[in-house]
Amino acid sequence: MPTDLTDAASLIAAGQISARRALEHALDRADSESAAKAFLRRFDLMAREAADRVDRLAAERRPLPALAGLAVSVKDLFDVAGFPTTAASASMSDAAPATSDCPAVARLRAAGAALVGHTNLTEFAFSGIGINPRHGTPANPATANLDPLPRIPGGSTSGGAVSVGAGAAWAALGSDTGGSIRIPAALQGLVGFKSTARLVPTRGCIPLSTTLDTACAITLSVRDAVRVHEVLAARNVTLEERPPARWHLAVPRTLVLDGLEPAVAIAFDRALDVLRAAGYGIVEIDLPLLSQAAALQRGGGLSAAESWAWHRHRLADRGAQYDPRVALRIRRGEAMSAADYIDLLRDRADWIERMGDALAPFDALLSPTVPMVAPPIAPLVADNDAFFAANALLLRNPSLVNLLDGCAVSLPCHRAGDWPVGLMIWAAALADDRLLSLSLAIERTLAPSRQGA
């Protein structure tokens, strides 16, 4: 089978494989041990119907829709008509089936995607680890050959990333509030694109933070990310080609390079060396504004305040059914006053403006997506201190982009056979097309070195 969404789409269009055959391969992988606990509910019948519709179009030599019957998983935050949306929480176990698709799902369906199932996640999307005590935690398929101990998938889009990594989906619809697309992508050697939040509607998606939530996707390549984003955002991406020397990139020394695990530091430094040798203009800069971001997370930040607004009545009625670690973080918002919240919004807007001035000379910034490789699951299940320490480290770098209202791509930069490591390429709001163009170029540049060439 092809390993890339656009390759598969072209093979289907050429009549070399059928959409149904590609889908059955994905459904077989969804039943495999590699995808265990990735799905909360499956949509097999609906998916087969979508693939068959594409094959009928192909047989009639009619134009195929953009996603051509390919398997796409859906994080269990997004409404899919006919199925309940439960946010992987026991407190939502009696949710009624959705009466309509949310806009993101409707756009995927209209583009011919075969929606294969709702995927597991950190309950209510509230952590970067991916552990779920209610439904179990899907193990990271990318580390299975490196360590017999099951390692975290990353969160909160844990099941979505595993569905792609295990071959059960070509792409995974998810959400990114502080890194929930990019963290699991980095830990599993996948591509995660967090678009500018306003570009994709989040209606019909259970919110974590109405200000920060972004509906976006995990894919196998940047090319796939472009295709899926065009569907989700209902817009055409304008790609540009530049010689490497015309890309002006910066590596912040402040905060994002602190405490890197050796495997991350080695992979990141090697990637920078390859890019510099190819002619990319890369400078290191001090960016003290990044250290000020911690003040924007005071009292739990926007996520605590806005999640408390959504959950407060449910917590009063069903608090015992919540994951205690999730409930603890949501309840931090109870102590935030309306004045505190307004101050936080004002301070964030001021920080975004100052960051925009600082980033203006550069096309993008480069950093490790996260400072660590995926840790084993069991110690984080057993120990609260270990859990919250790892969670804070995983969120540290990617959450800066959400606070910035920016866009970012995490793409793999490790060598084949090494621990998965993500390179994050990021920029301010509405630089999405430039960022995707750059990410395509960087992905091509790194490809030989990642295979050891």
SS3 content of the chain, % helix, strand, coil (to 5): 50, 15, 40
Give kind and range of the element (H or E) at residue 219. strand 215-219
- Both tokens of 266, joined, read 């080695």
CA 87: distance to chain centroid? 16
For 290-296, the CB contacts below 8 A with 24+ separation are: 290/252, 290/254, 290/255, 290/256, 290/400, 291/254, 291/255, 292/351, 293/255, 293/351, 293/399, 293/400, 293/403, 295/347, 296/344, 296/347, 296/348, 296/351, 296/403
Strand order in the sheet with 71-75: 39-42, 114-119, 71-75, 171-175, 215-219, 191-194, 407-412, 422-427, 364-368, 248-252, 281-285
76 HSE (CA, 13 A, CB side): 33
Q: What CA dihedral angle connects 127, 77, 408 and 23, to 10 degrees? A: 120
The amino acid at 441:
A
Q: Where are the alpha helices (DSSP H) in 81-238?
A: 103-110, 158-165, 182-188, 222-233
Pairing relationship of beta strands 248-252 and 364-368 according to DSSP bridges: parallel
Active site residues: 75, 156, 180
Task: List C-alpha distances in Å: 396 to 257, 264, 390.
Answer: 11, 15, 10
CA distance 280 to 442: 9
Strand partners, 365: 250, 426
